């Protein structure tokens, strides 16, 4: 199948968003059942949890029975066990998740002309023009859902609409194992009554700001003057107003599409309260992102840092660079500057770093304000990349990581996961 994006008028498109239900837990349950276990983890209060020796572990995925106890993804296992003393916790297995993810995407590729993997457990499919092959889109979505269950053993939700935003919103409706539609004409009845925090691109911080303006539902947001939103939220105000009205023109981009951003994040095993440690963790993220940029012959013109504190409140800042770069030092200096702007000293649990505005133009444009030799940095980074490629990622590291207790290459969950790319498509 072609990896190129379709360019049909948006009102004629048929887009699926397919999301694996409780992916990590489902994949673990499938493996155990295939090995002869009679107990399906999905039918009992259960969770996939991180290393319990570190912060007592964190919930990475949960079953629907566990959700009924109020257990949330990302909360400490200690808290989850208080809510449900009989909670069954199993350790994560990232090679298993990668294997199931590949099988999932491969199956979708049998039917969809264009498949965009959005994360390890979700994908968009552009099904435009396939009605003559597969019949009515909603009926085929149900058949595809059943084939995934039969062939791969796990369940999915499928959202069907005319654009990616609405398809994603639809797939988040009632779970598990469901097909939902959210076409433009269904927005007032199905989407506008929902809390504004349910809208894609509206996080906790934005939700609080909107509620302070008296905007409590997606419908309230859709009917608000966009100029008011822009005055309070800048460019994001325009974007979420468009989303509230179901407006999205982004194409489904196949595997041959260029990456739009590179990112990594890490949940740390302790509360970070000092700036030096925070900067060291950011440096480890910049190391992995920088290496991936250079491996793809890419450079970035925009940096973003996000943090999640111990109460799960998120904040982020971004900045446009004077010159595009792939140098780890440039990435790190920009990340530190952003951290200084956004962090008020509240203990941090999770760090994220993203490089955006990607270009593949290798003609470096020097800035009058730069105070270092980019070519020297480029040669140094290239040498480090070659050493790690030949002798292993731990063959060379910066001195500040020696005996620090922190990985010098952070992001993902283990080395095999660090090559994943975050795509920002809409």
The answer to whether 281 and 290 are in contact (CB under 8 A) is: no
Sheet-wide strand order for 262-272:
262-272, 348-356, 300-309, 314-325
d(CA 185, CA 195): 19
* pLDDT confidence of residue 4: 37
d(CA 220, CA 245): 10
* pLDDT confidence of residue 168: 96
* pLDDT confidence of residue 280: 92
The answer to whether the Cα torsion of 342, 346, 352, 353 is positive or negative is: positive
* pLDDT confidence of residue 315: 85
The full set of domains in the chain, from first to last, is 1-183 (3.30.70.270), 191-244 (1.10.150.20), 262-417 (3.30.1490.100)
* pLDDT confidence of residue 418: 41
Question: Helix, strand or coil for residue 347?
Answer: coil
The answer to whether 123 and 18 are in contact (CB under 8 A) is: yes
The answer to whether 46 and 87 are in contact (CB under 8 A) is: yes
Catalytic residues: 122
Residues in the chain with pLDDT < 70? Answer: 1-11, 51-56, 255-259, 361-374, 403-406, 410-426
* pLDDT confidence of residue 424: 43
DSSP string over 106-167 = HHHHTT-SEEEEEETTEEEEE-TT-HHHH-SHHHHHHHHHHHHHHHHS--EEEEEESSHHHH
């Amino acid at each position: 199948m072609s990896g190129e994006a379709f360019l049909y008028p948006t009102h004629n498109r048929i887009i699926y968003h397919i999301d694996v239900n409780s992916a990590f837990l489902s994949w673990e349950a499938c493996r155990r059942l295939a090995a002869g276990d009679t107990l399906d983890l999905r039918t009992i209060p259960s969770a996939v949890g991180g290393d319990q020796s570190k912060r007592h572990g964190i919930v990475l995925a949960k079953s629907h029975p566990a959700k009924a106890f109020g257990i949330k993804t990302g909360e400490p296992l200690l808290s989850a066990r208080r809510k449900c003393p009989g909670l069954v916790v199993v350790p994560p297995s990232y090679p298993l998740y990668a294997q199931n993810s590949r099988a999932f995407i491969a199956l979708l590729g049998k039917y969809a002309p264009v498949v965009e993997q959005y994360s390890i457990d979700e994908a968009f499919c552009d099904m435009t023009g396939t009605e003559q092959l597969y019949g009515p889109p909603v009926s085929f979505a149900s058949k595809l859902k059943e084939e995934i269950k039969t062939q791969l053993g796990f369940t999915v939700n499928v959202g069907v609409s005319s654009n990616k935003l609405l398809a994603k919103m639809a797939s988040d409706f009632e779970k598990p194992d469901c097909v939902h539609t959210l076409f433009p004409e269904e927005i007032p009845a199905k989407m506008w009554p929902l809390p504004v925090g349910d809208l894609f691109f509206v996080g906790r911080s934005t939700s609080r700001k909107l509620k302070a303006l008296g905007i409590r539902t997606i419908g309230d947001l859709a009917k608000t003057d966009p100029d008011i939103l822009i005055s309070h939220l800048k460019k994001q105000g325009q974007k979420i107003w468009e989303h509230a009205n179901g407006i999205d023109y982004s194409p489904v981009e196949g595997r041959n599409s260029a990456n739009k951003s590179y990112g990594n994040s890490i949940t740390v095993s302790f509360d970070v309260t000092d700036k030096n440690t925070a900067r060291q963790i950011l440096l480890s993220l910049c190391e992995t992102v920088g290496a991936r940029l250079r491996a793809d012959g890419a450079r970035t013109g925009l940096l973003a840092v996000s943090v999640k504190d111990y109460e799960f409140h998120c904040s982020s800042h971004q900045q446009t660079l004077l010159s595009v770069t792939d140098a780890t030092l440039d990435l790190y200096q920009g990340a530190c500057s952003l951290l200084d702007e956004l962090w008020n000293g509240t203990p941090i649990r999770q760090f994220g770093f993203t490089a955006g505005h990607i270009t593949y133009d290798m003609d470096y444009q020097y800035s009058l304000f730069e105070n270092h030799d980019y070519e020297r940095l480029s040669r140094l980074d290239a040498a480090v990349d070659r050493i790690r490629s030949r002798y292993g990622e731990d063959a060379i590291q910066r001195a500040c990581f020696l005996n620090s207790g922190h990985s010098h290459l952070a992001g993902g969950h283990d080395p095999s996961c660090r090559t994943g790319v975050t795509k920002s498509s809409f």
